[in-house]
Amino acid sequence: MVPVPMKVCLIRPSIVVPAGNQVAMFTPPLGLAYIAGTLRDGGFDVQVIDGVGESLDTRHPVENDCYMYGLTPEEITASIDDDAEIIGVAFGFSFEWPACRDLTMLVRQRFPNALMIGGGEHVTAVPEQSLLESALDIGILGEGEETALVVCQAYQAGTLDPSTIAGTAYIDKDGNAVVNERRARKRDLDAIPLPA
């Protein structure tokens, strides 16, 4: 009997924009698409939720005279497949940190036993804060394709020890944030699977 591939859900949260901005920048989540392609190539069943792309014409007022464009955090959380065992959240710019942090808390309530991974610009810039103030288990630093695959493979095998994985940050048994050495950049770009 062929084993069922482990389900991974990758999330691009909705974006937060100051109300005074005349133009909101809507771009495809290319980094997340590359990670999804890499994980699928590695045999994982990957669901991608694009909180912006799935509701481009929707905006909601949020704190500090801003708007959130896209799905609400509740809608994103409800969209996650019930069998997701690993959930990855892309943390964009630091301006969006509070909204992304709050999203991880909602996801954790619905999926208390899932492995929660975060990556992106904010996690890479301030991994300690990202871990200590959110519901993340592991932060992925810098280019995430190879690191995400290694983390997911180790989790699936039951051998996950983030202290041994370059390019990650994690909370140790004493509750301290630990930041590992960065993974070397990929030089052979043709070896990276195509984006999903």
Give residue-wise pLDDT tens across range 136-192.
Answer: 999 999 989 999 999 999 999 999 999 999 999 999 999 999 999 988 777 676 777
Q: Residue 36: helix, strand or coil by DSSP?
A: helix
Q: Apex CA 164: angle with CA 158 and CA 166, to 5°?
A: 120
Q: Apex CA 84: angle with CA 169 and CA 149, to 5°?
A: 45
Mean pLDDT of 39-56: 95
The answer to whether 10 and 47 are in contact (CB under 8 A) is: yes
**pLDDT in the model for residue 62:** 86
Label residue 23 by pLDDT band (50, 70, 90): low
Distance CA 178, CA 95 (A): 24
The answer to whether 39 and 46 are in contact (CB under 8 A) is: yes
Can you name the residues that pair with 178 across neighbouring β-strands? 170
The gap from C-alpha 184 to its chain's centroid, in whole angstroms, comes to 20
Pairing of strands 7-12, 15-18: unpaired
**pLDDT in the model for residue 22:** 62
pLDDT tens by residue, 80-125: 999 999 999 999 888 888 889 999 999 999 999 999 999 999 999 9
Distance CA 196, CA 100 (A): 23
The answer to whether 96 and 89 are in contact (CB under 8 A) is: no
Q: Where are the alpha helices (DSSP H) in 12-87?
A: 30-41, 73-79
From the number of C-beta atoms within 10 Å of its C-beta (0-12, 13-18, 19+), residue 94 rates as middle
φ/ψ region of 185 (left if φ > 0, alpha if ψ in -120 to 50, else beta) reads: beta
Q: Tabulate helix, strand, coil % of the chain (nearest 5).
A: 35, 20, 40
